[in-house]
């Protein structure tokens, strides 16, 4: 079980790799599309990377509801 | 239809090639007689009959950042590098053009083959869910054009002609048409190719189209030489910015030359073999000259398609001789750059414009014994060192598998 802090830093690593987001910018209140300029195809890549890193699959119908970094952290926490 | 027969000029050039990472370094290396050809040393090449390649002199990662690169196929990366150089060179981005009147026409012969093949490996190894969501935009043949359109913010149309090794030249002709038809005010045109991968290498080799002079890379591409045995696969891209002459002059743009005319035909003869006398090529050259309002005697220089294949070079020599005669100084720059497939016509158009600007004709390398066919013997082929010349019109030929023939005529502005 990863802690919230571990999930946040793991997600930040993924965001840096996939979308070039500076780790310091990957804070819970940030919107993927509005604040971090992550497009829909990159979100699919992020979901795949989350599954690899945390063993948590994000179904397509859930992916659309994940708007912020905080939403993603909560989803991973609940489903890990 | 509003056909506007206005003069069209070239105001920007860009290139990334086996000879250099930009136009200036490519041109310098060409005039210095350098070769971009090397032998592949990767383990996979061992069973391949043809092991030569002309790789980029500068990797696109030196100009495009990592995050941007990872969603662009290599063919799209080179397209963006060449296009951004041409766009900056032209100054058109700062000239107040409405983005609704900015268009892109960028061709490719093979497209995103490297992505297709790499993702097929992912599919086989890890299953469908692991295939990248960028697979389709990275492999689609309009991908280089689309990536360039995005890079310069073109909203007046993005087009991608696909006619094998004539694609780059066809893109230039298409851009000329767009300006004449008043569909745009500025068109960035060119070609891009990057498919150095085992499958295309094997496919071209199975056609017996590639040189197997593996022990002598720098001398393997030898257009018009009696000992030629095929082309050398190259990667790269070239781009040109086209504008109407009056608009370019009004904004004080630097002008490399005029795109005076273009001609395109098809052979209707064979899927891959050229017509022996280059009948379709002759018609393309004739059409380009008529379009330019020039007579054959006006053409001082020909940058030949001449890929170094046994049949192609002879057919083209026959076509040049028939269409314009034996007075023009002919060169075959693929002897140094290798064959950039869908980017070849664009790169060689850049060479034509620089030849016009500098009044110098690059030499054809590696001709030790000229082919003994009558047509090759009659042509004035510039061999070895560049030749100073006084001329006002240059012709670029491009031909593609499928029987595509393109001819472009450039003149001093």
Tokens of B236: 């790269």
Q: Which CATH architecture has domain B8-251?
A: 3-Layer(aba) Sandwich (3.40)
Tokens of B51: 């092991």
Domain count, chain A: 1
Compute φ and ψ for B132, nearest 5 degrees.
-60, 140
User: Residue A38: its chain B contacts at CB < 8 A?
Assistant: none
User: B387 with B363: CB under 8 angstroms?
Assistant: yes
Say if residue B4's pLDDT is above 60: no
Compute φ and ψ for B54, nearest 5 degrees.
-115, 95
Supply the pLDDT for residue A5. 94
User: Taking residues B348-358, what's their average pLDDT?
Assistant: 98
Distance CA B166, CA B149 (A): 21
User: Taking residues B287-294, what's their average pLDDT?
Assistant: 97
Say if residue B322's pLDDT is above 90: yes
Task: Pick left, alpha or beta for residue B191 (phi over 0 → left; psi -120 to 50 → alpha; otherwise beta).
Answer: beta
Q: CATH 3.40.47.10 occupies which residues in chain B?
A: 8-251, 266-411
Q: What is the pTM assigned to this prediction?
A: 0.96
Distance CA B46, CA B213 (A): 14
Burial class (CB in 10 A: 0-12, 13-18, 19+), B259: buried
User: B267 with B274: CB under 8 angstroms?
Assistant: yes
A49 touches chain B (CB under 8 A): no
Per-residue b or e along B323-346, where b marks 16 or more CB atoms closer than 10 Å to that residue's CB: bbeeebbbbbbbbbbbbbbbbbbb
- Nearest Cα of chain A lies from the Cα of B186 at a distance, in angstroms, of 29
ipTM value: 0.90
Name, in order, each residue with C-beta under 8 angstroms of B53's C-beta and a sequence gap of 6 or more. Answer: B37, B38, B39, B40, B196, B201, B232, B233, B234, B235, B338
> Whole domain around residue A46: which residue ranges?
2-77
Tokens of B266: 């098809």
User: B227 with B313: CB under 8 angstroms?
Assistant: no
Cβ neighbours, 10 Å, residue B269: 12
A27 touches chain B (CB under 8 A): no
A20 touches chain B (CB under 8 A): yes
CA B29 to chain CA mean position, Å: 17
Burial class (CB in 10 A: 0-12, 13-18, 19+), B201: buried
Percent of chain B predicted with pLDDT > 90? 98
**Crossing angle of the two packed helices B23-31 and B344-358, in degrees rounded to 10:** 70
Say if residue B1's pLDDT is above 50: no
User: Residue B127: its chain A contacts at CB < 8 A?
Assistant: none
Distance CA B45, CA B28 (A): 31
Say if residue B21's pLDDT is above 50: yes
Distance CA B69, CA B200 (A): 22
Strands (E), B250-320: 257-266, 301-303
Name, in order, each residue with C-beta under 8 angstroms of A23's C-beta and a sequence gap of 6 or more. Answer: A9, A12, A13, A15, A16
For tokens 């075959």, the residue is B332
Distance CA A1, CA A80 (A): 7
Beta strand B52-53 pairing with B38-39: antiparallel
Any idea what DSSP says for residue A41? H
User: B330 with B379: CB under 8 angstroms?
Assistant: yes
Q: Which of B61, B65, B67, B138 to mutate to test the interface with A (most CBs of A within 10 A)?
A: B67
Per residue in B73-98, pLDDT tens?
Answer: 999 999 999 999 999 999 999 999 99
Distance CA B364, CA B354 (A): 16
Residues facing residue B394 across a β-bridge: B301, B410
Catalytic center residues of B:
165, 305, 339
- Nearest Cα of chain B lies from the Cα of A4 at a distance, in angstroms, of 26
Say if residue B300's pLDDT is above 80: yes
Tokens of B181: 């038809």
User: B316 with B281: CB under 8 angstroms?
Assistant: yes
Mean pLDDT of all residues belonging to chain B: 97
Q: Which CATH superfamily, name and number, covers B266-411?
A: Thiolase/Chalcone synthase (3.40.47.10)
Supply the pLDDT for residue A1. 82
Residues facing residue A68 across a β-bridge: A31
8 Å CB contact of B133 and A19: no
pLDDT band of residue B3 (cuts 50, 70, 90) is low
User: Taking residues B383-412, what's their average pLDDT?
Assistant: 98
Distance CA B346, CA B350 (A): 6
Domain of residue A54, CATH code: 1.10.1200.10
Cβ neighbours, 10 Å, residue B170: 30
Parts of chain A with a pLDDT under 70 = none
- Nearest Cα of chain A lies from the Cα of B134 at a distance, in angstroms, of 7
Residue numbers of B between 42 and 81 with CB closer than 8 Å to A: 65-67, 70-71
Tokens of A32: 């993927």
8 Å CB contact of B132 and A45: yes
Name, in order, each residue with C-beta under 8 angstroms of B41's C-beta and a sequence gap of 6 or more. Answer: none
Supply the pLDDT for residue B5. 63
8 Å CB contact of A45 and B67: no
User: B400 with B109: CB under 8 angstroms?
Assistant: yes
């Amino acid at each position: 079980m990863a802690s919230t802090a571990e999930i946040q830093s793991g997600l930040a690593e993924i965001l840096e790799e996939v979308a070039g987001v500076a780790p310091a910018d990957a804070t819970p209140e940030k919107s993927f599309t509005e604040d971090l300029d992550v497009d829909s195809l990159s979100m699919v890549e992020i979901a795949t990377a989350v599954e690899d890193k945390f063993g948590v699959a994000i179904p397509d119908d859930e992916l659309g509801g994940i708007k912020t970094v905080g939403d993603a952290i909560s989803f991973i926490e609940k489903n890990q | 239809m509003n056909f506007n027969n206005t003069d069209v000029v070239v105001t920007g050039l860009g290139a990334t090639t086996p000879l250099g990472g930009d136009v200036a370094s490519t041109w310098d290396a060409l005039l210095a007689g350098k070769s971009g050809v090397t032998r592949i040393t990767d383990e996979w090449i061992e069973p391949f009959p043809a092991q030569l390649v002309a790789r980029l002199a500068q990797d696109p990662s030196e100009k495009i950042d990592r995050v941007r690169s990872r969603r662009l196929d290599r063919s799209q990366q080179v397209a963006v590098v060449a296009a951004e150089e041409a766009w900056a060179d032209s100054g058109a981005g700062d000239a107040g053009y409405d983005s609704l009147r900015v268009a892109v026409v960028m061709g490719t012969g093979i497209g995103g083959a490297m992505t297709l093949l790499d993702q097929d490996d992912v599919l086989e190894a890890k299953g469908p869910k692991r295939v990248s969501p960028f697979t389709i935009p990275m492999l689609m043949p309009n991908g280089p054009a689309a990536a360039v359109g995005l890079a310069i913010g073109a909203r007046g149309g993005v087009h991608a002609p696909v006619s094998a090794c004539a694609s780059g030249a066809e893109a230039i002709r298409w851009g000329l048409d767009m300006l004449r038809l008043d569909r745009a005010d500025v068109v960035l045109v060119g070609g891009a190719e990057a498919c150095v991968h085992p499958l295309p290498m094997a496919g071209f080799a199975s056609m017996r189209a590639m040189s197997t002079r593996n022990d002598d890379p720098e001398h393997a591409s030898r257009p018009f030489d009696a000992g030629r045995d095929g082309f050398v696969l190259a990667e790269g891209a070239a781009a040109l910015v086209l504008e109407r002459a009056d608009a370019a002059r009004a904004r004080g743009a630097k002008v490399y030359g005029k795109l005076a005319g273009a001609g395109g035909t098809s052979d209707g003869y064979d899927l891959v073999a050229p017509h022996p006398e280059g009948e379709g090529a002759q018609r393309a050259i004739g059409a380009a000259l008529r379009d330019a309002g020039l007579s054959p005697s006006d053409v001082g220089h020909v940058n030949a398609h001449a890929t170094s294949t046994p049949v192609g070079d002879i057919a083209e020599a026959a076509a040049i001789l028939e269409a314009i005669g034996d007075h023009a100084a002919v060169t075959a720059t693929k002897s140094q750059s290798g064959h950039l497939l869908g980017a070849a016509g664009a790169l060689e158009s850049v060479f034509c414009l620089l030849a016009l600007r500098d009044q110098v004709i690059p030499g054809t390398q590696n001709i030790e014994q000229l082919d003994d066919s009558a047509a090759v013997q009659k042509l004035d082929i510039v061999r070895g060192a560049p030749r100073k010349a006084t001329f006002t019109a240059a012709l670029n030929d491009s031909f593609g598998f499928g029987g595509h023939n393109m001819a472009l005529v450039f003149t001093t502005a």
